[in-house]
Amino acid sequence: MDETTFWNMVETAKAEANGNGEAQVKRLIEMLVALPVEEILSYETIFNTYHAAAYHWDLWGVAYIIGGGCSNDSFMDFRAWLIAQGREIYYKILVEPDTLVDIVTIQRDGRLVWGAAFLEDMNYVAMFAYEIKTGKELMTPSYPDSRKPLGEDWKEEDLPNLFPKVWAKFEHDDDKIR
Report whether the peptide linkage leading into residue 160 is cis, meaning its omega lies within 30 degrees of zero.
Answer: no
Q: How many CB atoms sit inside 10 A of residue 155's CB?
A: 7
Closest C-alpha among 138, 144, 139 to residue 32 = 138
Query: 148-159, pLDDT tens digit by residue?
Result: 899 999 999 999
Please name the helix (run of DSSP H) or strand (run of DSSP E) that holds residue 177, with its range, or none: strand 176-177
Share of the chain above pLDDT 70, in %: 86
Buried b (16+ CB within 10 A) or exposed e, 31-46: bbeebeeebbbbbbeb
Give the mean pLDDT of the chain: 88
Evaluate whether 152 touches 158 at the Cβ level (below 8 Å): no
Extents of the domains making up the chain: 3-177
Query: 71-80, pLDDT tens digit by residue?
Result: 999 999 999 9
Please name the helix (run of DSSP H) or strand (run of DSSP E) that holds residue 32, with its range, or none: helix 21-33
In this structure, of 46-50, 54-58, 65-69, 89-93, the range with the lowest mean pLDDT score is 65-69
Which pLDDT value is given to residue 102? 85
